[in-house]
Amino acid sequence: MEDKVGVVLGLNRLGINYFNLGKVDKSVSLHLKNLELSDKENSFASFYNLGICYRSLKDFEKSLQYFRASLEWSRENRVKRLCISLILKQVRI
């Protein structure tokens, strides 16, 4: 598709919907595809959602890896309170 932003937003939404349906493995695959297609400026949601998915799957190592990636993304992009507070709430640093 030519609408790359639309594809990325759609993959994110589908990943969230599959997570809410309890199909976490499918959610992970969609968020990984989202991350693959996202440009650097728009990868926060993929990192964050992957952290949530892997936590749900009890793969805490991967969960922390993606939460840390989202935290690093927010620091690099100077995104203030909301992103960092969401991550800290999930990781409980």
Q: Does residue 46 surpass a pLDDT of 90?
A: yes
Percent share of the chain, pLDDT over 70: 82
Q: Does residue 39 surpass a pLDDT of 90?
A: no
User: At 44, which amino acid appears?
Assistant: F
- Stated pTM of the model: 0.81
- Residue-wise pLDDT tens digits, 69-79: 988 888 787 66
Q: Does residue 5 surpass a pLDDT of 60?
A: yes
CATH domain 4-91 topology: 1.25.40
- What distances in angstroms separate CA 65 from CA 2, 47, 71, 72, one per listed residue? 31, 9, 10, 10
